[in-house]
Chains A and B, each alone.
Chain A
């Protein structure tokens, strides 16, 4: 049972990690806490579902499409709404994205109704047997893809010009501007990327969890904790923290009882905030107006 607990925790952690990376980056680069991130995940799930139900395309295959759609959404939201707020109070962004979250959820309720849906492929719920351990295939694939996406994004940030522009703007907006980088464009790009990653998480989630307009709410709590745990703005941190979070929840459930898994996570969160607010791998200068 110990082994299974570890497997469960790691695999779930992978999904959590990819759900959190986009959120963490947006917060780190722009200082914006996107309360609608959960809705982006939800929308990613619906896009995957629609493509699957309508065209029969597997969510893994339609992943690029889902990410593209969400990228556009994130980009537009930033460009049209949030960029304006960058000049006033950043904390207003919390309120605005909260309102946006309400709008998105209720729009989906209107369009899709609250009926639960799911993506069931031929290999859903199948698992590989590795000795005494069972590794569900979908979760394993999600885990691997999540790591690949995270790695890809990391490389993008550190090697590609656009990515480096993002990092530069996060470090020092004014100097970046002096170097010819338009911060507003960078913000929009970052928001788009963050939404795209959320969309990927949603796509994965569509195969694992029932899809409904409220599903984002189940993720947003863990996303917060993982972001802070890993360090705001740090991709490696988010991945590490995601895995750690999955493991901690898994162990808490197994040792203390399933109903404790949430409260353990929150207490952990508070402890981290107090003892080491920059998280495991975070850096102080990211996104934090002192």
Chain B
């Protein structure tokens, strides 16, 4: 019998190999679907860090997505090379999280959740009112670039895939690191964590910064991909709601849960969208209700219960 670890890692390696090879086999539209899945997986991972680990339900986390998108959008429009822009996106997002986290992370539970939603809306309005180089309400058309569409799609595909793998590795590291334990401690009981000597403010802020960095990165890549930015699309609350549900469906607090959730939900969404033109949003709404009622712990949780484990969970 293969050792647990080896079997698991080789399975993942196989999946990864398939994903890397995919552009050779499939093209255009389906590649785009996969790219979207990877993007949402990262958004879900970002939420996983702040919600699953730290217990702060940042419903409006999409604010970092939009921020990343606009950072890349403005940078590229001003002539910066893509590589630089994509590095700036998470940096900007992380800075924002650090600065905003100071006041906002003091809030608890629902208050924090609502504050993040308000933050998102405020940022949306800010971009609109600043206008100018951001394009404001009229949107920001970015330069078309010289890449042929197939090449562009592949580039974005690999960028998103890379981001997904990186975010999963980060969460893996987090689950084993002192920071991760600190977060789980403060999620259980902030007071208890403080008593144990954990600097909860620092831990929370780091978590949110990490979350923001991930989300901002894929936001930036998305911005480059879609080539035309509108505040409403970049700060669309639906993105973080989707991510939240994916995280829930897959299983929060786990490493692969968000990825599984992203695959599942995005696939189902796409099929519904293709088949039921008029009512797809309706079906999506019903699906959300069903998921919340029936699977609040997530797919991974139920999955694991089906297959007996050799040793207890860490």
Indicate whether A and B are direct neighbours in the complex (CB within 8 Å): yes
- Name A's B-contacting residues (CB within 8 A): 27, 31, 33, 81, 84-85, 88-92, 94-96, 98-107, 110, 221, 224-225, 228, 259-260, 262-263, 266-267, 269-270, 273-274, 277, 287-290
B248 within 8 A of A: yes
A95-B241, A224-B117 in contact; A102/B281 too (CB < 8 A)?
yes
> Is A94 a contact of B245 with CB atoms below 8 Å?
no
CA distance A91 to B296 in the complex (A): 11
Whether the Cβ atoms of A85 and B292 lie closer than 8 Å is yes
Structural contact, A91 and B57, CB atoms closer than 8 A = yes
Say yes or no: A274 contacts B282, CB within 8 Å.
no
**Contact between chains at A270 and B279 (CB < 8 Å):** no
Q: Which of B11-19, B75-83, B118-126, B208-216 contacts A (4 or more CB under 8 A)?
A: B118-126
Return B26 CB to nearest CB of chain A, in Å.
30
- Inter-subunit contact A103/B118 (CB<8 Å): no
Residues of A within 8 Å of B111, CB to CB, are 228, 273, 277, 288
CB <8 Å contact, A274 and B281 = no
Chain B contact residues, CB within 8 Å of chain A: 57, 59, 103-104, 106-111, 113-115, 117-119, 121-122, 125-126, 128-129, 241, 244-245, 248, 278-279, 281-282, 284-289, 292-293, 296
Total contacts A-B at CB 8 Å? 114
- B114 and A273 contact, CB distance less than 8 A: yes
- Quick one: which of B244, B248, B282 contacts A103, CB cutoff 8 A? B282
Using A99-B286, A107-B282 as known contacts, say yes or no to A88 and B118 having CB atoms under 8 A apart: no
Partner of B285, one of A89, A101, A266, A267: A101
Q: Which residue of A lies closest to B296 (CB)?
A: A88
- Is A96's CB under 8 angstroms from B122's CB? no
Knowing A103-B289, A267-B122, the reply to whether A259 touches B129 (Cβ < 8 A) is yes
Contacts of A228 in B (CB 8 A): 111, 114
Are B115 and A270 closer than 8 Å at their CB atoms? yes
Q: Which of A89, A98, A104, A273 contacts B118 (CB 8 A)?
A: A273
Cα–Cα distance between A89 and B57 once the two chains are bound (Å):
12
Q: Closest A-chain residue to B106, C-beta based?
A: A274
- Chain A residues, CB < 8 A from B129: 259-260, 263
Check A103/B121 contact, CB under 8 A, given A110-B279, A289-B109, A290-B108: no
Known A-B contacts A107-B282, A273-B114, A273-B118; the reply to A99 vs B107 at CB < 8 A is no
State whether A100 touches B115 (Cβ < 8 A): no
Residue with the greatest number of chain B CB neighbours at <10 A, chosen from A95, A224, A267: A95
Kindly list 20 other residue pairs between chains A and B, CB separation below 8 angstroms, not including A95-B245, A270-B115, A277-B107: A84-B293, A89-B296, A91-B109, A91-B110, A91-B113, A95-B292, A96-B292, A99-B284, A100-B285, A101-B285, A102-B284, A103-B282, A107-B282, A224-B117, A224-B118, A262-B125, A263-B125, A267-B122, A277-B111, A288-B109
Instruction: Knowing A99-B286, A110-B278, A259-B129, say if A225 contacts B118 (CB, 8 Å).
Output: yes
> Contact at A106–B279, with CB atoms within 8 Å?
yes
Contact of A96 with B285 at beta-carbon distance under 8 Å, contacts A224-B118, A263-B126, A266-B125 already known:
no
18 CB contacts below 8 A, A to B, read A31-B110, A99-B284, A99-B286, A102-B288, A103-B282, A106-B281, A106-B285, A259-B128, A259-B129, A260-B129, A262-B121, A267-B122, A273-B115, A274-B107, A288-B109, A288-B111, A289-B109, A290-B108
Smallest distance from the beta carbon of B78 to chain A beta carbons, Å?
25
Give complex CA distance A92, B117 in Å.
Answer: 16
